[in-house]
Structure formats: C-alpha cells, structure tokens
Structure 1
Amino acid sequence: MEKPTRILLFLLAVILLGCREKPAPVSFDSLTEEQRHQSANALVGMTVADGLEAALFAAEPDLTNPTNIAVDAKGRVWVCEADNYRLPYNPKFKKREEGDRILILEDTDGDGKSDKVKTFYQGPDMVAPLGIAVLGSKIYVSVSPVLLVFEDKDGDDVPDSRDTLFMTEGGADNDHGLHAVSFGLDGKLYFNHGNAVTGLYHKDGSPVLDQYQRPIRTKGQPYLQGLALRCDPDGSHVEVLGHNFRNPYEVTVDHYGNVWQSDNDDDGNKGTRMNFVLEGGNFGYVDEMTGDGWQKRRLGWSDEIPVRHWHQNDPGVVPNLLYNGAGSPTGLMIYNGKLLPQPFQGAMIHCEALQNEVRAYPTSPDGAGYKAETAVIMKSENQWFRPSDVAAAPDGSLLVADWYDPGVGGHKFEDVSKGRIFRVAPDAGKYRFKLADLATLDGRIKELSNPNMDVRYQAWMGLMKLGTEARPALTKEWESGDPVRKVQALWLLARLPDANTGFLGEALKDEDPEIRVSALRAVRQFIPDQLPGFVEKAVKDPSPAVRREAALALRDLGTPQAAGLWAGLADQFDGKDRWYLEALGIGCDRYADLYFQAWLDLVGENWKTAAGKQLVWRSRSALSSPMLAQMIREEQDPKMTARDFRSFQFKPAEGRSDLIAGFLTDSDPEKAAMALGLLDEGYARSHPAALANIRKLIPAITGTPEWVTAVRNLNLKDQVPALMNTFMESEDPGLASDAAGAFFDLGGVSYLKAQFGKAGPDRKMELINRFKPVQHPQLVSFWSEEVLKPYPPNLLHGFVDALGYGWDGQHVLYDLVRNGKLEGDLKTSAALHMMNCWDTEVRAAAPGYLTNRKGKSGDFLPDLNDLADREGMPEKGKLIFTNLCTTCHQINGEGVAFGPDLSQIGDKLSPRSIYSSIIYPSAGINFGYEGYVVKTADGSVYSGYITSQNDRELNLRMMGGITQTIARSAVSSLEPMESSLMTPNLYELMEVQDLVDLVAYLSTLKKEEDIR
C-alpha cells in the first residue's frame, strides 16, 4: 500500500499547487524607472484586443533600434536597424563604424521566441534604413539616397548580388526619405517617400520619368512634396499615384488594388491622417498653385486646423479618409489573414508610435470613397513603446517592431541600446506552422490568399511562370463564389499571354462593386486600348465607387468620346460626395475645356444645381470662370462666397482678373473686399478704372484680412499707418502677423521711427513691447541707437529685450557688452539674451558677462533618469511655462506660434524626453523647424524657419511668431543653422525644482478626448 499512498499524496500536492492563488499581475506603475526598461518587463503595462495575446519575440542585445521589418515565407523576421540614426543631431552617441545592419531573426523551436540571429548585411553605406521587403530571393532595402535590391539566389542568407533600383535627390539619413516597398496582386511594386526627397533617378543618374514621360521631381515641376508610386519589379514603368503628402511612412495595397497610406502633420497640429489614394490626386500638404505652406492665409480656409493643414477647402484636393489627431504614424499593412478576430480581417493594421499603439482601421464604403473606424490591437502604458512597423507571418500572426525610445524620431533619439519585436496571436506562445506549398499549381493558387507578403509574391510569380498552363486553374478560381479568390485570379488572368478579356467583361457585371472596380483597373493597366468600351459600360453603374474609377480612367484619353463619357458621369454627381467630385476633377483636368464643354452641352442652362455649382467650383476649365462669377453674384452665404472666390485662384489666367475686378463695385462689401485681395499691382496699374475702384474700397475694409492681402499685393504704401494700427490693436494673432509683414515690406520702419520720436514714455514702452518680436534689420538698427541714449531704466531694458529677440539684435548686444557700452543689470540682461543666440561664438561668450544671477544654485543638473523619477507640481509648472515659454510656444491657442504647438506634448514625449528637449534642444530639431539665416542683397539678415517657399518668395517665421516674406530675387544666401531655434540653456533660468515642475505640467498636456 506504500506505493499507492505515495501516488495519492503526489496527486494531492499537485491539486493543492494548482489551487494556490495566482500571483497578482505586476502593474507598470509599481516598477522603478530602471525596471520599466528591462526587456523582462516588456509586457508589463501592455494590453491587447480580446482574443489575442502578445509575446516578446526578440529584444536587445539581439537587435536595437528597429525601423522596419519584413517576415519571409519561413516565418523569419528581417529587421532594419538604425543605430547610426541622425548622428549629427545626436553627437552623444558613438558611430557604429561597421554601419547599420539587416538582421534575420528565427524561432527554430516554435516557442514564440527568436533563438537564432544572423546578419544578412552590414556596411558603412547602410545608414538608418527605413524600409525592407523580402520578396522571394530579392530583398528590397530603402535607405535614401538609394533603393537597394539584394539577391540571395542560393538561399544561404548571404547576398549574392546587390543592385540599385533607384536613387533619390535628398532624404539621406532623414525620416522623410524613401520608405518600404510593398507588393500588389497586380504584379507591381508600391512605394513612397516623404518630402525630404525632391527627385527620383536611375542608378546611372538619369531622371526617372513618370507615366507622362516627365522627370519625377517634387518642387512643383510637376509634383509637390511626398509621393506615392508604383512600378514593375525591375523598376520600369514608374507611375506617380499621388502627390503633396508630407511624410507617408509606408504604403499598402489590398486585393482589389485600393492603395492606402498614413501621413504625418507638422508637429503639434493634431492633423495626422489616413489616406485612400485616388490615382493622380493632390493630397493638399502645400498650396497646389503657389507652394505656400498651410499657415499662409487664404480665402475660404477652415477654422479647424487639421482641415486647414491639408488644404481640404481647396478645389483639387482629395479628402482625407480619417483624422487621427496628434501622432507619429509609422508602419502600415493590409491584414489578409483569418487568424486574428474578424474586425481586423481585411483591415489596415497601423503602428502609431506617438500614442504607443498598434491599431486596425476597418473601412466601409462611403459614396465613391470610404470611411474608417479605429480599433486598438495593442497598447502599452510604457511611453517608450514606439511601434515602428508591423508585418504578418505566414500563420497569420502579427510581428510588431518597437523602436523603444522616449521620443518618436524626428532626428532625435535617447537610447541606442534597445529594441524589441513582439508577436501578436491568439496563442502567442506557439509559433509553428506548415510551410506554404509554392511548388505545385494548386499550392500556389491557395497561397495567393496567404497573409504573408513573401508567400503571396512567390505564389504569384510561380503562377506567372506557368503562363497559360495556369489558366484553367485560375479560371476555376474566377468562377468561384469567393470575391477574394475571384479578384486574385482576375489580376493574373488579365496578365497572361493572349489573355481572353471576356472575363473582364463578366467582372464588370459582378454583383460585388469592388470586383467591378478591379476590372476597370486591370483594363487600365494591361489593355488600355479597350478602356473606352469598358468605361462606357461602367458609366451607368449603380455604384459610385465604380463610376469613380471610370472617371479616373478617362484621365489620359482626351477624345470626344471620352468627353461624352465624362459628361455622363458628371451628370450623376449628387452635389455632396467629395470623393466623387475629386475623381471627376482628376479625370478631366488634363483636357478640362474639352470635357467641361461636353457636360455643358449635356445640361445646357440647367447647370445651376447644387451638383452643377460644385462642378464649376472644381473645374480647371476657362469655360467655368464666367459661371463661377455668376455663382458668386447670386451667393448669399459669406463662407460659400469665400470658398468660390478661392476657386478663382485655380482657374486659367485668361480673363480671370477682369471677372474678379467686376466685383470691386459690388453692392456687397464682403464680395468687393474678397475680390480686391485677388488682384495684383500689375493689373491695377494697367487698368485705371479698377485702380479708382480700389481706392474707393480701401477705407471700408481697413483692418480686415482681405485688406492686408490687398495692400501687400497692390503695394499700397499709403496704408502703412493703418497697417501699424492693425498690428498694434488686433486681437487676432494671425491678422497681426500678416499686418506686421506687410508693414515692413512697404517700408514701415521710417514711419515707426517718426511715431516713436513723438511718443511719451508709456507709448514708447508700448511700441517697444509690441514690436520687439519683429526682427527687421532697420528696426534692429534703430533699437541699437536708442539703447545708448539717456532713457529711463525701463525703456533701456525694453531696448535690450527687443534686441535679444533675434540674430541681428543678439550680435548688436554682443558688440555692446564687449565694448563696455552696457553695464550692470543691462549687461546681465544682454548676456542672458546672448545665451539664446544661434551663433556659437556669441553663445559661448555670454556666461562671461553674466552678473547678478540671483536665486539660481549654479550646481550641475541631475542626470535625465534622476530628473524623470522626480515628482513635480503641475500648477507651479504652468506658471513657469507662462513666464518663460509662451514667447515661442502655444498651448490651446495661447502664446506665440513660433515653435511647435505643445497642446499635446504629454502624448508625444515621455518626461525624460521632455527634459532632454529642454536641456539639449539642438540634439533633436523637429522636421520643418530647422533654422536658416537669410541674407539679402541690401545687407539685411533674417533668421527663423521656413514655413513655405516657391520660386518667387519664401516665408520665414521669426521669433515672436512674425512671418517675414522675402523675395527670392533679394536673397544673396540661405544657410542652415547648426543649432536648434529653441532657446538653449533655458534650464539655467530655473532652480532644479522649477524645471521639474515645468516638465510635470508639460506631461499633463494630452488630447482632451479620444477622437477615434
């Protein structure tokens, strides 16, 4: 009986062990700062969607700083590392001399953890690559200024060859460079780049030509800013799909050929977005006609900053799919698997580094376009969790790369030693699957539906190699009832030699509108000579999406038949669907007069419907200009009137100014004022009657935005006194800034000097305080003369403060103090301003002139980790911010719009990263806020950052939020600054606890509501 007793005791022990209370999960808040960053705690504070688990697949030291990943057909994870990321901006990190690496991580025992690491490639030329795609034996690596193609023909994980597919002008070691390649079931490669790239070239240096045989450049000749593109796998037949993005991090394409992107806004403007790419579309980052930035005042702009940011009120701008508020959008993919819960199937899966999330965006039809919802797949309480990319494994699980850093890039990072890969699945602890059958016909057909891009690519290529042998099996797929299987077959059947296009006619009758859309796309790509016949069949399609695609298909035809088809499509516009309207616009812009006339012939005098007016507003035809003028005369809504006047700026120049000038005598003063702002000096001077009407109109609109625009455009120097009054008195910061710019452009300094001479002490102080943010060279010269005169102390300090606002004035202060012209408190004040100078000589000399630094310990600051662990008082920090920071930053509309808006900085940066930004501001300059010194032919020097520029002028945002417009012809040099525009050594004005309180306050600044 002894043995059974032992067994019973053992079983009892097992039961009791199983009944013990499970230890409570560790909370993220309970961890120390050091513990939070240990890979053993990577899952603490991590939540995932119902039905899913997250597991740590790999971590440091196996990998660091992953920017992009790909998963191959074997389930291995390929990683782009970026240890040498932006080292000129991060000098505290040592360069990895061997260069950055492309790694292969493998789980050999199926336990969900990587246990084997290989270096596929490492070299000094590999500097912070941003994209990788593994497609069969070829590995595409995006590392501006090149898109490289490695080939591993024998599968030994060593590259046998390396070639350059494309080269870029610009974008090297820059977040806004060339991004990853994706494969579409049409057999094309899709890729994109941000707005640091200004041109695309072949490896021999010749420009890459677009579908219209034009060099692909992004300075308005013919494209703007960031681009979405596609090409054949060998780099031929490059097409630009969309332009005027800011920085679309990754592009993805679904089974039906729909192209999707994310895009990042200018930091702090709550305008990150998701885009459905209408082919040929303009996506609105800068003004299409002038290249001006979104902050440049224009008629009809939206009161909502995100809408204004993307020029959504302009004709010719594709609508945004989804606004995501403040963010840092990174990797993107379409999930084609079945392993994840149903809401994620077929959806975009997206990494949002700023919000520490991986999200899904399920879409549904919305007129001719789509609408999207947001579902969070994965989120961490750890603000260092910075998901940079996501990819699907062959089993349908997700692999997520984590850059792991307190910041989100933007030329800056705080940690070079860490990086993680997570795996998300219903059972994340197991990673075993049967390898895809890519050797047989049936296997290849089946694997077209695989969630993994490499598997799909190899299956697709294998079927293409079979050629017509694959037709019977593909035809069987086409005849199945499954829409995904049908569309997969459609793309291949359309490309087979001697393709029987009858099935495309059937596809155009399919009950699924997405299949019908795909049919039109396939015809456009592979049998364009048959396109008119297919479009004719689609003109009366009940689906707006199909008609949208038909409109886009007419873009390149330019025949009377095509014009008639376009008119038929336009006649079905409901007057509300912006997707449909922009598709019509894209479809007719190249032949605007021909197509628009066909529509006029169809509708005759019945064009004044809601839909007809929208078509007139959007049209680029000269025929539409008189109709637009008629609409404006009859319009009663001021907002619609402004919107319509704005449309004039997109019409052909022929006859446009005459139509606009006709409104100068309109009985509606608002219409007259809007018209006035659209005329230029040349037209006014050559048309005496118009000039006389302008003179009559000016007094009635003085002090309005339209008046400022008109005064500047028409060079009305007699309005200088009124411009000064507007600048002094306006409570609208934008209007005041515009008025100041016009005031100095028209020679207002002389008038200011005269007024200052006549003013009493209080008025003098008022003028100094109001004008001190303005750094006009003549004004700086005036202040430098006045500071040496026997004024009362408050005025002298005012002059020093005014001089301390910018480059020129700070150099004046430097000369004054070293020559003994300023003493005592004035010298101390001057030295503090000199410490803010971007000239390293001036800044280095400043501490030697400091006196009377009361209340500051002068001790070294604690290290960043120590500071990050300290608790501050946000209410005290708010007061410190008001006193020290509002001269450059805004929070919820309060303060000066010079540096980035900080309304949601607590969402964007961890406390440690905020400390770093304050203490080491030049270590990470936000893209778009790089400083420049502009010297003009007359010897003037301006400093600030460029908000917009074109061939005629550039707009420089200077300290105080003032925008200075400088003619290109007047610029003698334009030099980038080495240092940040942010005040250096700001922490020296605070006690340590003040700094802690300030960061505590900034950390509370987060979005007020979940905009999703």
Structure 2
Amino acid sequence: METQTGKESALHEPTTARGETSLFMGVTVDFLLSRLDKTNPKMLFRFLIVGLAACAAFGPGQVQGQNPRVQIPFELHDKSLKLTEWAKQPMLLNPVALSFDYQGRLFVVETARRGTVDIDIRAHKEWVIDDLSNQNIPQLRKMFRSKMAPELSEQNKSWLQDRNQDGSHDWRDLMAVKERIHLLQDTDDDGKADVAKVFAEGFNQEINGVMAGVLPYRGDVFATIYPDVWKLNDTDHDGYADKQEVFIHGFGVHAAFDGHDLHGLTIGPDGKLYFSVGDNGFSVRTREGNLLHHPNTGGVLRCNWDGSSLEVFATGLRNVQELAFDEFGNLFSVDNDGDIREERERFVYITEGSDSGWRLNWQFKKGGWPSQTQTPDYCPWIDEKLWLPHWKGQAVYITPPMSEFSVGPGGFKYNPGTALNDRYKGTFFLCEFPVQKVTAFKTEPQGAYFKMVDEHIFLFGMMASAINFGPDGSLYVANWDGKWQPNELGSIWVVDDPAIRRSEKRKQVAELLRSNYGGHPDVFLVDLLAHEDQRIRLEAQFELARRDKFAELLKVAANPNAKRLARVHALWGLGQLETDSQRNKRLARRLPFTDSDFEIRAQAAKLAGTKKVKSCAAKLADLLHDENARVQFHAAMALGQAGDSSTVPSSQLDCVARTQ
C-alpha cells in the first residue's frame, strides 16, 4: 500500500467496535508473527511493537484519523549494505511515488489532497447507492456538485472545510488543495540531493484524486491522478513542466475508497506504457474511438507512447499499487485486500487477458454495508473463496493469487540486475507501510505459475511509501515519516553496498543508460541484448525495433548458442515490428519452437500469438504436450490469438480443457 492508501488494509468497516478491533489485532499479529524470523528476539520485540501500534491505528471505521509515529531505529537485514539520508523536508513533503530518469534526476510525487479533499465513501455511507450508479466521469462530477452544492453549505460544514474562504462549504473547496511533483538532483555527486525544484503543480479539479504515479521517459514525464494520465514536458529545460496535457482521460468513475488510485506507471517488455487502476473503475474512449468500459473493477492497461492502441491488459484487481516485470517479462504485483474479516492481501501473477475476480460492488456486501445497500449479506469474493490461492473447486474463470502476502502493500520494484549486490539479483522489493518495513523476496517457477522464496525483512523501522532504483544502482526509499495523513514531513534514503557503489561496472551502467541509443551501431546494440542490466537490454531492444532490424533480431532469437536473455529480448523486439506475409513465413520457419531451453520455447510461442501467425497454429498445438507447463501455458494463450477451430484438432482442445 503506497502512502496515499495508508489506511488501506487497516480501515476495516465496523460491525461491532471493540470485538472487531480485538479480532483484527489478533489476526494481524498472528500474520506478522508468521512472517518474522523468531530467532532474532530483538527484531521480534520491535516488530510486535510496530504491529500492535498499526492495529491500534487501524481501528474500525477510521477514515481520516492520525496515528502517532512509533519512532524506532532503521535496520537493514544485510549488514554489508549501508543506509544514508539523501534528501529531506523542505526539499520534499509527503512523498507517494518516485522515479528516476536516466540522467539521474529524481521525480517525486507529493500529496496534499489525501485525507483532506479526496472524498472517501466510508465517510459518506448514505451516498453509496448514488456513487455505485456512476458509470463515467461526467456522472461523478454531477454527483459531487449535487451532494456538495452551495445551497447545502450549512448541512455540510461539519465535515467540509471552507478551504477557499468564500463563506460557502461546497464542492469548490475541493479545488483549494493542489498536488505537486518535485524534481531533485545530486549535482555534485556527494551522495546528497542539493537541488530541488517544483516540476509541476496543480491537478486540483473537484474530481481529482491523489497523484500516485510518475515516470520520466524519453524526454516526457507521465503522471497519474484520477481521472487522468498526464503527459508533462519541460520544453525550455528550466526544471518546470511548461507543457502539460491530458494523455488519457476517464479513470475513477466512483468516489468509493480513497487511495484506490491510478498508479503503477511501468515500461513493458513490449515497449509499451503500462499502468494500474484501482477498483474505482474506468470508462475511457481510446484514440481509435473504442470504449473501454470497466466501471466496477480495477486492472492493468497498456498503450503506445503516443497514447494509441490503449487496451485492457488484465481486470478483476482491487488495487494493485505498482507493477514489476522480471527478466522474462512476467508481470507481478501485490493486491490490497477487501478490508473484510480474515481476508488478506495477495501476491498476484498478472497475465494478459486475466480476470482476478474482484468487483467493486462486492465491497459493499459485508462488514455492515448491506444495511446501507439493502442487499443480502452474501459476498462472492468471500463466500465463494475467490480471494484464496487456487483450491480444488474454485471458480475457473479467475486467475487466483499465488499466495496470501503482505500487510499493506505499496511501492514495488524488481532489481534490474546490477543494483545493490549479488545477494539481491533477481529480487523483488515491497514497501509494507503500516508495519514499517520493506520486504525482499524472489520467485521460482511452479508449473506455469510461481512461488515465493527467500522472503525476508530487508529494511525495518521506516514508514516507506515508495521505492525505486537509480541509474547508479542504488535503491532509493521514500520515508513518509510517521502519520497516515499528510504531515509536512518526508525524506529520501538510499541503500547500497559501499564496496561496489562506485565500481567501474556501476559507472559503465550509468554511462550506458545516459547514452544516445540512436547513435550506437547495430552490432553494438545486438551485443547489449545480453547485458547484465535489464534497463540496458530493453533500450537496445527498443532501438533495434525502431530501426526495424528484423533479420538481426531473428538471427539472435534462432541462435541456440546466443545468451538466453539476448534471445528473449530478440523475440520481444520481433514482437514490436510491423509484420507482413513474408515476415510471418520466416517466423513460422525459424522460430525456436523445439529449442532445448524451455524458456525460449515459451517465448517463441508467445511471439507467434502476439503476431497472430496462423501458420504456426499446428506447432503451437504440438506445444500443448510440452513437458514444461510454462510452455503449455504460452502455447494455449497463443492459440487463442493465432489459431482457430480449423487448424487445431478437437483432441488438442480437449487437452487444454483437461489442463484447465
């Protein structure tokens, strides 16, 4: 749970006050103990103190409350690493998201709207039916202006502050609080930020939520706040975004729970922009005129960098904060629980076209809400056990989570390959804000799915709201510094291994990230497809795709002696290219469907589906019998894109059905 959702998993709807609080505290402490190394008595004691404080702060029905900070020293699990402060207030306040460009400039999203003017339906239960009826942004705006009309000023003044001081407590007061993006730099390379500028400020229409995501890329800065994805640009290079445009509009059609925001801006392995949306839903008209209408669920979307080809990648998610791809293009996140008794957050594998099962209206079928909605106390999410990891008899239309995991998930990132040290290669990092820790873990294949391994507390004691890796290979952590609501505090800390922080390899990585890929020769870019750093491999792939180097990419992909990751990126690069009948014929002949490496077979199948190469349908059908479940999965998915009933024998379809 990122900063803006500090109350997220904690704000359980009350049924009975004291009994519900006691139950929640017991369940939470049991869960915390299950995640802790009990051989460390000192850590155990400190963790329990934080856990109990979190339980107290999470008391039932608290939407706008503050909790006192539990001040404890920060502690790193790995003693070879060092934690140092990089920046602090007043250089930044209330950080919720952060992201570096390849030049080493850090963009930090700051919130003031959270807990002040971002409407939460839990504080206005009598609005819930009207709110659920909203299907688009105009309807939401109409509801806000009706419920907070100037003529209702006297009625609303007990909760709606006259922030614009016009003497009326109305919807216009929601426009008096602005969001901000700060730009921070360490210009003298001494390990401390010495420059801080306001890069962009505003985003304060009455229907704006909390700004919750930022991503600088290719000279633009993308930012997310309901109802929009923004595209910002500093055209005169003075550190301020003088060009600001709405990139995509139509997210957050319900007030619902605040903190279920628009976030997760991520560069995908297919060269597209990915982002996540909470279950406030969306109704978006694409540039091509298509309506993407999912008003009652959250999900993941993707598009080209000019906003074209916007599409829904996955649905049925409640509120995944940030997205992370591993080196093989698998997309993971941690989804917030439904604030319902005994349910927990979930570690999720997000596949194209998947439905994880959540619907917003199910939020209001438990925990005292049926008395407001006049509906039966029956919630499919809980009563049909959709939220649990796979079990025999579970509904087959959903993609279940891999495991129950986390207390309040937030910032989430994957080591690009050259960051920190060898101990943390292949590692995910997750902020668990309420219990003041950052968790680290890895994944291993388990059939066509994955399991979590090597889970441990990476950093303890910090109310970390966001994390990201810099081009220097360090891990940067945003510290909210103590309270749920904006508190005019905030800092950025850096974690790294001092033995290698200024190594030659790190310098070379930073230099390559800063370089102009358009100026590199083809042969050099091909070599970079095998680089140790994921960011460099992707940039080389994207540039080769931009140059339309079909032959060069296919040569690497089909070469059994090439490095595994080079071949994977070559296959992804081929997926970015325009195709024609001649290219499809070459793909059908040369794609490595029978390679000795199961990952290459899986990626080849995935590419055939992405490019809809129908002449590969028979080969894909054969892969349904592959010895590796991951290959079977991608072959089945590809057949749905490239095959048809005339090319796939019924016996093969029966095989897919049996696998399901």
Note the C-alpha offset of 1:82.
Answer: 0.6
What are the Cα deviations for residues 94-128 of structure 1, in whole angstroms up to 9, with x where unaligned? 79958322122112222322111122212254863
Residue in 1 that maps onto 2:568: 487
| Distance across 2 between alignment mates of 1:254 and 1:84 | 33
Q: Which amino acid counterpart does residue 277 of structure 2 have in structure 1?
A: H
Is the Cα contact below 8 Å between 1:136 and 1:458 reproduced in 2?
no
Q: Secondary structure at the match of 1:435?
A: helix
Residue in 1 that maps onto 2:342: 269
Note the C-alpha offset of 1:449.
Answer: 6.7
| Distance across 2 between alignment mates of 1:428 and 1:70 | 25
- The yes-or-no answer on 1:362 pairing with 2:447 is no
Is the Cα contact below 8 Å between 2:541 and 2:569 reproduced in 1?
no
Residue in 2 that maps onto 1:512: 597
The unaligned stretches of length 5 or more in structure 1 are: 1-26, 34-40, 210-214, 408-412, 582-1012
What are the Cα deviations for residues 500-526 of structure 1, in whole angstroms up to 9, with x where unaligned? 764674432233322222222222223
Residue in 2 that maps onto 1:426: 497
Would the alpha carbon gap of residues 462 and 560 (structure 1) be closer, same or farther in structure 2, given more than 3 Å must change? closer
Runs of 4 or more off by more than 6 Å in structure 1?
A: 89-96, 298-305, 308-312, 449-454
Is the Cα contact below 8 Å between 1:508 and 1:520 reproduced in 2?
yes
Note the C-alpha offset of 1:196.
Answer: 1.1
| Distance across 2 between alignment mates of 1:320 and 1:380 | 26
RMSD of equivalent CA atoms: 4.0
| Distance across 1 between alignment mates of 2:533 and 2:608 | 27
Matches within 5 A, 1:600-679: none
Q: Secondary structure at the match of 1:282?
A: coil
Q: How many residues align?
A: 515
Residue in 2 that maps onto 1:535: 620
Residue in 1 that maps onto 2:456: 376
| Distance across 2 between alignment mates of 1:85 and 1:301 | 29
Is the Cα contact below 8 Å between 1:168 and 1:201 reproduced in 2?
yes
Note the C-alpha offset of 1:558.
Answer: 7.4
What are the Cα deviations for residues 555-609 of structure 1, in whole angstroms up to 9, with x where unaligned? 35673235526x4264377x7xxxx52xxxxxxxxxxxxxxxxxxxxxxxxxxxx
Residue in 2 that maps onto 1:280: 353
Q: Which amino acid counterpart does residue 128 of structure 1 have in structure 2?
A: V
Q: Secondary structure at the match of 2:488?
A: coil
Would the alpha carbon gap of residues 472 and 456 (structure 1) be closer, same or farther in structure 2, given more than 3 Å must change? closer
| Distance across 1 between alignment mates of 2:574 and 2:640 | 25
Q: Which amino acid counterpart does residue 422 of structure 1 have in structure 2?
A: W
Q: Could you tell me which of 210, 217, 227 is aligned with 2:293?
A: 217
- The yes-or-no answer on 1:144 pairing with 2:229 is no
Note the C-alpha offset of 1:490.
Answer: 1.7
Note the C-alpha offset of 1:531.
Answer: 4.8
Q: Could you tell me which of 228, 242, 258 is aligned with 2:314?
A: 242
| Distance across 2 between alignment mates of 1:92 and 1:28 | 39
Residue in 1 that maps onto 2:77: 48
Higher mean C-alpha displacement, 54-63 vs 311-320: 311-320
Note the C-alpha offset of 1:142.
Answer: 0.7
| Distance across 1 between alignment mates of 2:578 and 2:384 | 55
Q: Secondary structure at the match of 1:217?
A: strand
Note the C-alpha offset of 1:333.
Answer: 2.4
What are the Cα deviations for residues 874-910 of structure 1, in whole angstroms up to 9, with x where unaligned? xxxxxxxxxxxxxxxxxxxxxxxxxxxxxxxxxxxxx
Q: Which amino acid counterpart does residue 305 of structure 2 have in structure 1?
A: P
| TM superposition score normalised by structure 1 | 0.46
Would the alpha carbon gap of residues 52 and 450 (structure 1) be closer, same or farther in structure 2, given more than 3 Å must change? farther
Would the alpha carbon gap of residues 562 and 280 (structure 1) be closer, same or farther in structure 2, given more than 3 Å must change? farther
Residue in 2 that maps onto 1:178: 262
Is the Cα contact below 8 Å between 1:248 and 1:261 reproduced in 2?
yes
Q: Could you tell me which of 323, 328, 331 is aligned with 1:259?
A: 331
Is the Cα contact below 8 Å between 1:138 and 1:149 reproduced in 2?
yes
Would the alpha carbon gap of residues 306 and 225 (structure 1) be closer, same or farther in structure 2, given more than 3 Å must change? closer
- The yes-or-no answer on 1:65 pairing with 2:94 is yes
Would the alpha carbon gap of residues 122 and 511 (structure 1) be closer, same or farther in structure 2, given more than 3 Å must change? same
Would the alpha carbon gap of residues 164 and 348 (structure 1) be closer, same or farther in structure 2, given more than 3 Å must change? same
Q: Secondary structure at the match of 2:646?
A: helix
What are the Cα deviations for residues 195-254 of structure 1, in whole angstroms up to 9, with x where unaligned? 012322348xx9x63xxxxx32224xxxx5111222222222233222111111122223
The structure whose residues are more often helix, as a share, is 1
| Distance across 2 between alignment mates of 1:496 and 1:557 | 17
Q: Secondary structure at the match of 2:435?
A: coil
| Distance across 1 between alignment mates of 2:176 and 2:384 | 50
Q: Which amino acid counterpart does residue 264 of structure 1 have in structure 2?
A: N
Note the C-alpha offset of 1:373.
Answer: 2.3
Matches within 5 A, 1:292-441: 293=365, 296-297=377-378, 307=388, 313-324=394-405, 327-342=407-422, 344-376=424-456, 378-381=458-461, 385-407=462-484, 413=485, 415-427=486-498, 433=507, 434-436=510-512, 437=515, 438=517, 439-441=519-521
Residue in 2 that maps onto 1:77: 106
| Distance across 1 between alignment mates of 2:300 and 2:391 | 16
Q: Which amino acid counterpart does residue 390 of structure 1 have in structure 2?
A: I
| Distance across 2 between alignment mates of 1:346 and 1:241 | 24
The structure whose residues are more often strand, as a share, is 2
Is the Cα contact below 8 Å between 1:357 and 1:376 reproduced in 2?
no
Percent of aligned pairs sharing the same letter: 24
Is the Cα contact below 8 Å between 1:72 and 1:452 reproduced in 2?
no
Note the C-alpha offset of 1:343.
Answer: 5.1
Residue in 1 that maps onto 2:130: none
Indicate the structure whose relative CO is greater, using CA pairs within 8 Å and at least 6 residues apart: 2
Is the Cα contact below 8 Å between 1:331 and 1:350 reproduced in 2?
yes
Note the C-alpha offset of 1:79.
Answer: 0.7
| Distance across 1 between alignment mates of 2:358 and 2:470 | 34
Note the C-alpha offset of 1:494.
Answer: 3.9
| Distance across 2 between alignment mates of 1:163 and 1:455 | 29
Q: Which amino acid counterpart does residue 535 of structure 1 have in structure 2?
A: L
Would the alpha carbon gap of residues 45 and 497 (structure 1) be closer, same or farther in structure 2, given more than 3 Å must change? closer
Note the C-alpha offset of 1:92.
Answer: 8.6
Q: Which amino acid counterpart does residue 182 of structure 1 have in structure 2?
A: T
Note the C-alpha offset of 1:140.
Answer: 0.9
| TM superposition score normalised by structure 2 | 0.68
Residue in 2 that maps onto 1:109: 188
Residue in 1 that maps onto 2:652: 568
Is the Cα contact below 8 Å between 1:386 and 1:404 reproduced in 2?
yes
Q: Secondary structure at the match of 1:233?
A: coil
Would the alpha carbon gap of residues 323 and 461 (structure 1) be closer, same or farther in structure 2, given more than 3 Å must change? same
Would the alpha carbon gap of residues 462 and 302 (structure 1) be closer, same or farther in structure 2, given more than 3 Å must change? same
Q: Which amino acid counterpart does residue 493 of structure 2 have in structure 1?
A: F
What are the Cα deviations for residues 370-411 of structure 1, in whole angstroms up to 9, with x where unaligned? 111253353223xxx33222222223221122223333xxxx
Q: Which amino acid counterpart does residue 185 of structure 2 have in structure 1?
A: E
Matches within 5 A, 1:868-883: none
What are the Cα deviations for residues 909-964 of structure 1, in whole angstroms up to 9, with x where unaligned? xxxxxxxxxxxxxxxxxxxxxxxxxxxxxxxxxxxxxxxxxxxxxxxxxxxxxxxx
| Distance across 1 between alignment mates of 2:311 and 2:386 | 32
Matches within 5 A, 1:684-699: none
- The yes-or-no answer on 1:189 pairing with 2:270 is no
Residue in 2 that maps onto 1:893: none
Residue in 1 that maps onto 2:547: 466
Q: Secondary structure at the match of 1:237?
A: coil
Would the alpha carbon gap of residues 155 and 509 (structure 1) be closer, same or farther in structure 2, given more than 3 Å must change? farther
Q: Which amino acid counterpart does residue 265 of structure 2 have in structure 1?
A: V
What are the Cα deviations for residues 700-737 of structure 1, in whole angstroms up to 9, with x where unaligned? xxxxxxxxxxxxxxxxxxxxxxxxxxxxxxxxxxxxxx
Would the alpha carbon gap of residues 540 and 453 (structure 1) be closer, same or farther in structure 2, given more than 3 Å must change? closer
Residue in 2 that maps onto 1:16: none
Higher mean C-alpha displacement, 270-279 vs 521-530: 521-530
| Distance across 2 between alignment mates of 1:454 and 1:300 | 38
Residue in 1 that maps onto 2:31: none
What are the Cα deviations for residues 262-321 of structure 1, in whole angstroms up to 9, with x where unaligned? 100022634101111132222122499x99857854899779896299998323221211
Matches within 5 A, 1:733-812: none
Note the C-alpha offset of 1:81.
Answer: 0.8
Is the Cα contact below 8 Å between 2:365 and 2:378 reproduced in 1?
no
